[in-house]
Chain A
């Protein structure tokens, strides 16, 4: 199947923004997308992965090692040849077992040759790319725990089946789910950097535009990709520029203070909210080509960085987004 171009996705600005921010600064740690089926969640994630430039890896390495950082590789990673590969996009299906996710002892080698060898799992495959989990709220809790832990530490530790292996696993975790079908535990939600809520576009014009583009892609995927190539290249340049610039972006004490105040006002637990909001605002500034982080950046990122961290109040009907907007209004007018 050919991938839908990222820039051809109609609407869904917030989701696209969250994905871009996560692509610019991987430390933000994962994007959670809430929304109904058929809103283009996986399409967007897949599209972004396909847009990104190819990465350089050691040829034949099972862990997608960077040629410059081959010391971390558990295999003897000595191949001098370097090849280019597309940014990996791993789709983790519901019902995946721990073995499949983490990796496990290579059965065939063990049985046939009596050799102890590690068979890589999905985490190794996703290294330096994206790991997408549809319906993460239906995934087994212990698998979600594992994933979030690895996503946060950037390293997969395997201590089982008589194996003791560690390998780098840095990826952008993208989870999606429909809150109507069950909730994610709050302590897990908190580990996601950003969260967005997507809805199907309701305006007839948008829906018609989507039909048109889907059709054009089905008719001739190549031609369609060609048509959007320019736009996608722009996105690509934007990300590359932002990645470069992010180190030199200034965050004033005043902005930091604002960040803390927002988090306090909405009652977001823990420090993660503040850190993510600050990083997110910085990545946003970088994406927009600004040199300093401003209050506007904060305001734009606050709902994404905080809405899933608010303490749930069983009796309060107000949605989290509204609560954040209200707090922003009160603080900054």
Chain B
């Protein structure tokens, strides 16, 4: 395996990706640029300058409202003039064009869905800027899925880089890929754990444009390699296995791979391909961005397909939920006009206003801006229960089964109650999120079967992880409750050293932070005999303490639900 590329060559690749994108934006769907920094800003500015000579390019704010995107009646202007003023939707205006979306990670799913539809139907291309510092928040996956390039510029420092815009080349000028090249791309995608079909199509286009830039009319192996590096590597969900099939590679990854190989062997009978695919794989592996690599190695469940936690149920009382009457306000930004109420408000003034009106005013109804009423809704906040489970040797083994049972029971009811469940386990030296917030039984079951046990008790790490999740949930409009299942005897510090006293102090400090943030919590003491440590922890958390020497899953669920309901 080649060594990791330094930031210099990575940056060169990003610039190349941007150049390919600029050759034919709608053919590539979009480019996602991650990381805040002057280099990215410079690149965006250069891209914008290059593209705006050929197509409409605009920047849209993420809080753009759906009416503006789709067009409709301009209400304020209509009222003022007295006849209908329509305005075109941004998406209609931008057909075949390019939109720049800043802070894409904060974009709501409904806006993203409209944009994704425009990408499908009117060939809209997107430059998505992702400013999130970590993987807590990701841009909507409907958009990411439809974009060919994903560049992480957060490590880029070289301000002197020069971006060279590509020029539009008719794709047809470059010969189609040969079958061998296509199967190399397909095989590499499988080895990297890229299952969607879209990236394959994008990779093919990237290879062609790469050839076009180099002035070739036939794609060469170098073009294929570049396409794989630029398009497929950033999407990798697994690290390709380099062992030869004969060396009895472990487990399922390589099972796929060897299958792939035998497939391609059968249909082509050209053993010379295998080295080429290996070269490609190596190139791809070397180009997997370090961040993704860490995620794959560490908590792979977080990355998986399609970042599940972000379901669409956010809390927007102005938009949806049960109707709760109306209040004065101007519609737009998702607020809906309550027409009947607005007319009712205008009714008493009609005579006076008619007298006031100019002679040529043909209006039958005189409505002023101050009459407008908007609908008001009440939406139940979605709850998120974060289970932080002590999976250490001391307490765990007998208790894990009960925790698993409780989580499954809660999930089974989740779709009725509109609640989500997340699972954090802490053991040995750190905490890991086994299950990001979800309502999906499928995922939960998989995560639960994999819940390991044994080792030290790093409670502080568990608390910090739980708080981070809870904070993210609050940002998404949910109400989190932390259910901590432990015996309260911390013995591993955050840095991984075993030190009972230090670990205890850290635990209490972390608990205090949670108490201050006002997140609801409950400590369930799972030691065989109730101990003062766990009670003290609950007190620091300002949460409820529940000694459950022999709790069943049902009792656990009931206890947690009472806490959630109080909140």
Smallest distance from the beta carbon of A319 to chain B beta carbons, Å?
Answer: 9
B197 touches A207 (CB 8 A): yes
**Given A37-B141, A138-B311, A200-B195, A1 contacting B83 (CB threshold 8 A):** no
Residues of B within 8 A of A96 (CB): 110
Q: Which B residues, 287 to 313, have Cβ-Cβ distances below 8 Å to chain A? A: 304-306, 308, 311-313
Once the chains bind, are B197 and A210 in contact (CB under 8 Å)? yes
Q: Which chain B residues lie closer than 8 Å to A333 at the CB level? A: none
Query: Which residues from chain B contact A38 at a C-beta distance below 8 Å?
Result: 145, 195-199
Question: In the docked arrangement, what's the CA distance between A157 and B421, Å?
Answer: 37
Residues of A within 8 Å of B179, CB to CB, are 208, 212
A226 near B: Cβ within 8 Å?
no
Q: How far is the CB of B89 from chain A (nearest CB, A)?
A: 12
- A207 to B78 alpha-carbon distance, docked (Å): 53
Residues of A within 8 A of B439 (CB): 182-183
Q: Which residues of B contact A1 (CB under 8 A)?
A: 120-123
Considering only residues 67-105 of chain B, those with a C-beta below 8 Å from chain A are: 73, 75, 78-79, 82-84, 86
Q: State which of A105-113, A145-153, A256-264 sits at the interface with chain B.
A: A105-113
Measured CB to CB, the residues of A under 8 A from B are 1, 36-40, 42, 91, 93-97, 99, 105, 107-108, 110-114, 134-135, 137-140, 142, 161-162, 178-186, 199-205, 207-208, 210-212, 214-216, 218-220, 312, 314-315, 317
Q: Which of B172, B267, B340, B412 contacts A314 (CB 8 A)?
A: B412
Pairwise interchain contact A95-B183, C-beta atoms closer than 8 A: no
Q: List 7 A-B contacts (CB under 8 A).
A: A94-B113, A95-B113, A111-B75, A183-B439, A211-B186, A312-B412, A314-B408
State which of B82, B110, B343, B442 has its C-beta within 8 Å of the C-beta of A179.
B442
Whether the Cβ atoms of B409 and A112 lie closer than 8 Å is: no
| CB <8 Å contact, A317 and B445 | yes
User: B197 near A200 (CB under 8 angstroms)?
Assistant: yes
The reply to whether B122 and A215 contact each other, CB–CB distance below 8 Å, is: no
Residue in B82, B110, B308, B339 whose beta carbon sits within 8 Å of that of A180 in the complex: B308
Inter-chain CA distance A139–B109, complex, in Å, is: 10
Are the CB atoms of B198 and A219 closer together than 8 Å?
no
A185 to B417 alpha-carbon distance, docked (Å): 10
Whole-angstrom distance between the Cβ of A325 and the nearest chain B Cβ: 19
Cα(A216)–Cα(B68), bound, Å: 36
| Majority DSSP secondary structure for residues of B touching A | helix
Beta-carbon contact of B263 and A161 below 8 Å: no
Chain B residue at minimal CB-CB distance from A185: B415
Contact of A178 (CB < 8 Å), options: B123, B306, B408: B306
B200 at the interface (CB under 8 A from A): yes
Nearest CB in chain B to that of A46: its residue: B120
Complex formed: what's the CA distance from A140 to B313 in Å?
7
* Residue total for B at the interface (Cβ-Cβ under 8 A): 84
Contact A107–B73 (Cβ < 8 Å): yes
5 pairs of A and B residues whose beta carbons are closest in the complex: A95-B110, A38-B196, A94-B113, A138-B312, A207-B186
Residues of A within 8 A of B27 (CB): 218
Q: Is the CB of A183 within 8 A of B141?
A: no
Report A-chain residues with C-beta under 8 Å of the C-beta of B73. Answer: 107-108
- Say how far B552's CB is from chain A's closest CB, in angstroms: 14
Contact of B452 with A by CB under 8 A: no
Q: List B contacts of A107 (CB < 8 A).
A: 73, 75, 337, 339
User: Could you tell me if A93 and B110 are in contact, using CB atoms closer than 8 angstroms?
Assistant: yes
Q: A212-B182, A317-B445 are in contact. Are A112 and B195 (CB under 8 A)?
A: no
Known: A94-B109, A94-B312. 5 other contacts (CB 8 A): A178-B306, A180-B306, A180-B442, A218-B205, A317-B445
Q: Is B142 an interface residue (CB 8 A)?
A: yes
B311 lies within 8 A of A182 (CB): yes
Tell whether, in the assembled complex, residue B189 and residue A207 are in contact, meaning their CB atoms are under 8 Å apart. Answer: yes
Given contacts A91-B117, A97-B319, A113-B364, contact A315 B408 (CB under 8 A): yes
B78/A111 in contact, CB under 8 A: yes
Complex Cα spacing A1 to B27, Å: 11
Bound-state Cα–Cα, A271 to B66, Å: 40
Q: Kindly name the residue among A39, A142, A200, A211 whose own CB sees the greatest number of chain B CB atoms within 10 A.
A: A211
- Bound CA–CA A94/B141 (angstroms): 13
Q: How many A-B residue contacts, CB cutoff 8 Å?
A: 191
Find B190's partner among A114, A137, A204 (CB 8 Å cutoff). A204
Residues of B within 8 A of A317 (CB): 445
Residues of A within 8 A of B187 (CB): 204
Give, as a whole number of angstroms, the nearest-CB distance from B530 to chain A.
30
State which of A94, A178, A204, A218 has its C-beta within 8 Å of the C-beta of B263. A204
Residue of B nearest to A141 (CB): B418
Please measure, in the bound complex, the distance between the C-alpha atom of A184 and the C-alpha atom of B439, giving whole angstroms: 10
B336-359 interface bits toward A, Cβ cutoff 8 Å, 1 = contact, 0 = none? 110110010000000000000000
Residue of A with least CB distance to B110:
A95
Decide: B84 and A211 in contact? CB cutoff 8 A: no
Most buried by A among B109, B113, B337, B408: B113
Residues of A within 8 A of B204 (CB): 211, 214-215
B203 to chain A minimum Cβ distance, whole angstroms, is 8
Question: Does B156 sit at the interface, judged by CB under 8 A?
Answer: no
Asked if residues B145 and A314 are in contact (CB atoms below 8 Å), the reply is no
Given A97-B319, A207-B197, decide whether A112 and B84 contact each other with a Cβ distance below 8 A.
yes
B468 CB–A CB distance under 8 Å: no
- Asked if B441 contacts A203 (CB within 8 A), the reply is no
User: Considering residues A39, A108, A134, which has the most beta carbons from chain B within 10 angstroms of its beta carbon?
Assistant: A108
Do B82 and A112 touch across chains, with their CB atoms under 8 A apart?
yes
For A319, the closest partner residue in chain B by CB is B442
Residues of the B chain whose Cβ atoms lie less than 8 Å from the Cβ of A93: 110, 113-114, 116-117
Tell whether, in the assembled complex, residue B305 and residue A36 are in contact, meaning their CB atoms are under 8 Å apart: yes
Query: For the complex, what is the distance from the CA of A97 to the CA of B185, rounded to whole Å?
Result: 41
A211 contacts which chain B residues (CB < 8 A)? 177, 182, 185-186, 200-201, 204
Nearest to A142 among chain B residues (CB) is B320
Contact B196 A37 (CB under 8 A): yes
Q: Chain B contacts of A178 at CB under 8 A?
A: 305-306
User: What is the chain A residue whose CB lies nearest that of B83?
Assistant: A112
Chain A residues, CB < 8 A from B319: 97
Pairwise interchain contact B114-A95, C-beta atoms closer than 8 A: yes
A40 to chain B: closest residue by CB: B197
What's the nearest-Cβ distance from chain A to residue B356, in Å? Answer: 18
A214 neighbours in B (Cβ, 8 Å)? 197, 201, 204
Residues of chain A within 8 A of B365, CB atoms compared: 111, 114
Task: Give the CA-CA distance A113 to B66 in the complex, in Å.
Answer: 26
B46 at the interface (CB under 8 A from A): no
The residue from A91, A95, A111, A135 contacting B66, defined by CB atoms under 8 A apart = A95
Q: Is the CB of A140 within 8 A of B201?
A: no
Q: Is the CB of B412 within 8 A of A219?
A: no
B367 lies within 8 A of A36 (CB): no
Contacts of B497 in A (CB 8 A): none
